[in-house]
Amino acid sequence: MNIPIEYYLILSGFMFLVGVAGVLTRRNAIIVFMSIELMLNSANLSLVTFSSYMGNSTGQLFVFFVMTVAAAEAAVGLAIILAMFRNKLTLNIDDINILKW
């Protein structure tokens, strides 16, 4: 009873779109950041899927790297968000507007 590869790919594509929509519509910096993590995880899902269907471990190895790098990015991102919050006391990206878009 094998699950066809398309199911995984559709799920991961859907997760990616949810992440993109979250980044574009949400206004809280932390939630935007979480949406970005969702995008990365959808990529991880498709990497693992491809890897397991092709019997080739490179994809799973790549997932390790994506995870570690995402953690490093998360640490830097949280630090930046924290520094911002200490100065401005808000995380709404519409209020973060001294520099005009």
Partner 1 sequence: MLNNFQEFYNIIPILLIGAGFLISLLIEMYFKKSDVILPWFTILIFLAAGFHALYAVNSVSVIFQNMLATGGIVNIFYIIFTFGAAIVALLSIDYIKKYGTYFGEYYILLQTSILGMMLMAGAKDLFMIFLGLELMSVSFYSLAGLNRKRLKANEASLKYFLLGAFATGFIVYGIALIYGTVHSTSIDMIASRFYELSSDKLFIAGILLFLIGFSFKIAAFPFHMWVPDVYEGSPTTIAGLFSTGGKAAAFSAIIVTLGVLFTGRIGNILMPYLAVISVLSMFYGSIVAISQDNIKRMLAYSSISHAGYLLIGLAAGNSFGVAGVIFYLASYTFMNLGAFGIVALIEGKDESNLTLKSFSGLASRYPLLAALFSIIMFSLAGIPPFAGFFGKYYVFIAAIKSNLTWLAILGVLSSVISVYFYLRIVVLMYFKDAETDLKIDVSKTGLAAVIISVLLVIIIGIAPGTIIDLIAFFFK
Partner 2 sequence: MLVQYIPVFLVIAVAIVFAVATVFSSEIFGPKRPTQAKLSTYESGMKPVGTTHERMSVKYYLVAMFFIIFDLEVIFIYPWAVQFKKLYIENGISVFVSMVIFLVVLELGYLYAYKKGGFKWD
What is the binding site for partner 2 (CB under 8 A)?
A: 1, 64, 67-68, 71-72, 74-75, 78-79, 82, 86
Task: Using the minimum distance from each CB to partner 1, give the nearer residue, 2 or 100.
Answer: 100
**Options 58, 89, 90, 92; binder of partner 1; rule CB under 8 A:** 58
- How would you label 4-43 residue by residue, b for 16+ Cβ within 10 Å and e otherwise? eeeebeeebeebbeebeebbeeeeebeebbebbbbbbbbb
What is residue 99's DSSP assignment? Answer: S
**Options 25, 56, 57, 92; binder of partner 1; rule CB under 8 A:** 56
